[in-house]
Amino acid sequence: MTDSQRERWPYSPVTYVRRALWRLVWLSLWKVAHWRLTGVRSAILRAFGARVGRGTALRASTWIEMPWQLALGERCLLGDHVRIYNLGPLSIGDDSVISQNAHLCGGTHDYTDPTFALKREEIRIGKQAWIAADAFVGPGVTIGDGAIVGARAVAIGDVAPWTIVGGNPAQPIKQRPRVGPAT
């Protein structure tokens, strides 16, 4: 495959087939599974290679780009219209919440490359973290244990554990009291 072809088709043919199959399942089985039956959507994700902990709940409108690159801890909640654009690996720790309309984006382009080559970067969300409504978490970002990314905040850099951030770009607002078992 030439460099030009690789730019137009950055994934293997198998990945494109997997993505198409996932889209079909998402439009059908995923959408009709009742939200109180949390195990159904978790089982669908596992069938596509995701690691999903017990008690995790996902709404029907949650979109996950590549389930096989997703690791969800136990008792996580992904709300309505959450967009997981995980071109790279994405992990969410136990007891974390991703609120409605949040966008976790693991893809970007190399602006130093004249062809704007695709970059796939990992996102890590710690345990007991909360990504609030309409928040954006960018490529390569780590959100520490217990951290909160406030509503409509734009996290383009790492967020320290037990820190509340807000704004665009997200800036520390204050420390969050530690809750639950020590992490």
The answer, yes or no, to whether the previous bond of 181 is cis (omega within 30 of 0) is no
For the CA atoms of 157, 161, 162, 167, the dihedral, rounded to the nearest 10 degrees, stands at 0
Q: Which residue ranges make up each domain of the chain?
A: 3-175
Rounded CA separation 63/30 (Å): 10
Average of per-residue pLDDT values in the chain: 92
Query: What CATH architecture does domain 3-175 belong to?
Result: 3 Solenoid (2.160)
Rounded alpha-carbon distances, angstroms, from residue 123 to 34, 80, 86, 181: 28, 20, 8, 24
- Residue burial 51-84, b: 16+ Cβ < 10 Å; e: rest: ebbeebbbeebbebbbbbbbebbebbbbbebbbb
Provide the percentage of residues in the chain whose pLDDT is more than 90.
Answer: 79
Number of Cβ atoms within 10 Å of the Cβ of 40: 16
Contact 107, 125 (CB under 8 A): no
For residue 10, is pLDDT > 90? no
Q: What is the pTM of this model?
A: 0.89
The DSSP H or E segment spanning 142 is strand 142-143
Contact 136, 165 (CB under 8 A): no
Indicate the length of the chain as a whole number: 183
The pLDDT tens digits for 87-96 are 999 999 999 9
The pLDDT tens digits for 130-177 are 999 999 999 999 999 999 999 999 999 999 999 999 999 999 999 999
The pLDDT tens digits for 61-105 are 999 999 999 999 999 999 999 999 999 999 999 999 999 999 999
Contact 115, 106 (CB under 8 A): no
